[in-house]
Each structure stands twice: as structure tokens, then as C-alpha cells.
Amino acid sequence: MLLVAFVTLLVAVALQPLTSVVALDVHLLRQLAAKHNVTSILVFGDSSVDPGNNNFIKTEMKGNFPPYGENFINHKPTGRLCDGLLAPDYIAEAMGYPPIPAFLDPTLTQADLTRGASFASAGSGYDDLTANISNVWSFTTQANYFLHYKIHLTKLVGPIESSKMINNAIFLMSMGSNDFLQNYLVDFTRQKQFTVEQYIEFLSHRMLYDAKMLHRLGAKRLVVVGVPPMGCMPLIKYLRGQKTCVDQLNQIAFSFNSKIIKNLELLQSKFGLKTIYVDVYSAIQEAIKNPKKFGFAEASLGCCGTGTYEYGETCKDMQVCKDPTKYVFWDAVHPTQRMYQIIVKKAIASISEEFLV
């Protein structure tokens, strides 16, 4: 049974609108974090958690221009492919910290280093080929930059304290969609090597390998976000000429998520790695099927442009909807800030300190 512990409560409370966060809950979360010396959040993955590393990489996979960041601090586009904050940013907020910085951000301070960083790169995946196609950071490259982070941290606080901080950190991985949408279903390299079922198995092994690598590098607590219902993305429906979700792609996502869950159970039982699985698939699917329940008015189109195909460069300087909080999708691929809030709220099943022991 996967632990749904402190960090899920941490994220869920943090992702509520500020007016609905009960002060006592935030106080409790910070008490738990302080008790177990959880001071840093270390993030790996794709556009769902990249706060702007791609701004400093020669790639077209960027979001450092309007209308991205419309609801961010000072309405500033930072590279986040969203209208506002990403889930890791809200975790940091609940702990009393600023948004999680990109490791390549030249304004990164010593104080930022002690609170963690994101090594994520929009367009990346578990399969290194996926990153190569878009000329972004593969997970392997992200892990190498994490080693640079450890060197900087050691110089700052010393080797003993640095090791403690890494061991007590919350590690978060969020990727997988691009492996299918930008790699397997578009590029013929993997199609010639694997059937869909074989590729899902291949990715499962890669995900497990990546998690083990983080464990070897010091991870004790790992949060893994599952793959969303890819067939419900506005872009995919537009390309397939459908108004409803593409079941085939959703089945692929569901199958891969099942593999992730089994991997996390293995990591707990065999390696003692404490894990949490965040079920983004069910959260988005439920919001699409019953949007009014969550306060949404539009679950089929993105807020940017026509809402059917625009994302990244094609969303640049486009008109957007009046109220993004009424939309499930910000662009034709990525969720709105509001949807990220709901995703994490749905992850709560119980409250426990086991994750931090």
C-alpha cells in the first residue's frame, strides 16, 4: 500500500486558494517539516514541473513569453507552461518558501540552494530519446545537474550537513506524456523496436532505473506523478478530429500508470524508499466528465487562442480567456493553475508522519 502521507497533505493544503487555507493547517505542516528537517524540494521531469530551465537551453520548448505567467507573481512569464504556479511551487509556499527556482536561473541564491531546485526540462521523458528529439534535458542530464547542485550545497553547508539535507529532501518526478506524444507516436525509431505494450514495459524499466538512481544519490522520499489522460488533451482531440477523448491514448496512459504504481511498491519493499503516487489521471478525467462539480465552465478547450492546438510558441502573444479558473486546460496541452490545485487535493487519502520518519 503506497503511503499517502505528510507531503500529500502539504501539497493539497498549499494548492487551495489562499483564502481557504486554514492557518492551523499551514502551521501544522510547517511544524512537521521542521520536526523532520524537511527543508528542500528537488524536482525532476518535464513541462509539468519545469519552472524555466529551458529558457537557458537551445530548444523551442519554451514558455518564457506572454500569455504564459499571466497569473504568476507580477504577471511575469518565467518559463512555466501554465498561467501561474506549478505544483512544486505550492509545496514551497506551504513551507514558507518562494516558488521553486530553475537550477539554471542566474538569479539563484545561496538561500535558494538550501531550499531545493528544479532540474526539470519541458519536453523531457523517461526515455532519453524523447529529450533528444526536442533538444532538451534528458533525465540523465537532469541527474548530472543534480550532482552539480550537491557540489554547490556541500561548499555552502559542508559535507555532513549537505548529506542530511539531501536525505531529508522531498524528491519529485513528473514525466511520461512526452514519451508517447512526442516520441513513440510521432518518431518511428521506437515504433520499429517496440509494440505499444513493449514500449510501456520499456518505459516502466526506465522509470524504475531513474528512481533507483535518485535513491543512490541520496533520495529517501520520492513523490511520482502519474501520466494524465493524454487522449483528453485538446491538441490530441484536434489532431484526431474528435470532440471526445481518444480512448486508445487514455488506455496507454492508464496501463503505464499501473506499471508506475507497481514500481513504487517494489521500491518501498526492496529498497526502503518511501513513495507516494499522485493520480493525475483520475483527477483530470473526473474534472472533464463533471466540470461543474469543480467550478469549471470549459473542459474541452484550452484558455489560449482557439484552445484547440496552441501551446508553446503557437500560444505566444495570443488572446486568452477572461477567467482561466473556469478552464481545465491553459493551452492545448497543459492544465491551468486551478486544475493543478484540484489534482493534488485529490491525492489526499490520509494524514501520516510515516513518510517523514
For the question of residue 331 being annotated catalytic, the response is yes
Cβ-based neighbours of 143, under 8 Å, separated by 6 or more: 44, 119, 210, 213, 214, 217
Supply 145's cell numbers: 545537474
DSSP letter (8 states) at residue 299: E
Q: Which residues of 80-95 are buried (b: 16+ CB within 10 A; e: fewer)?
A: bbbbbbbbbbbbbbbb
**Given the residues 40, 46, 47, 127, the one annotated as active site:** 47
Active site residue 334: yes
Is residue 348 within 8 A of residue 19, CB to CB? The reply is no
Listed residue (177, 200, 202) closest to 281, CA to CA = 177
Distances (CA, A) of 78 to 67, 84, 157, 175, 193: 11, 9, 29, 20, 38
Q: Is 137 within 8 Å of 57 (Cβ atoms)?
A: yes
Residue 75 is among the residues annotated as catalytic for this protein: no
Give the other-Cβ count within 10 Å of 323's Cβ: 12
What residues are annotated to the active site?
47, 331, 334
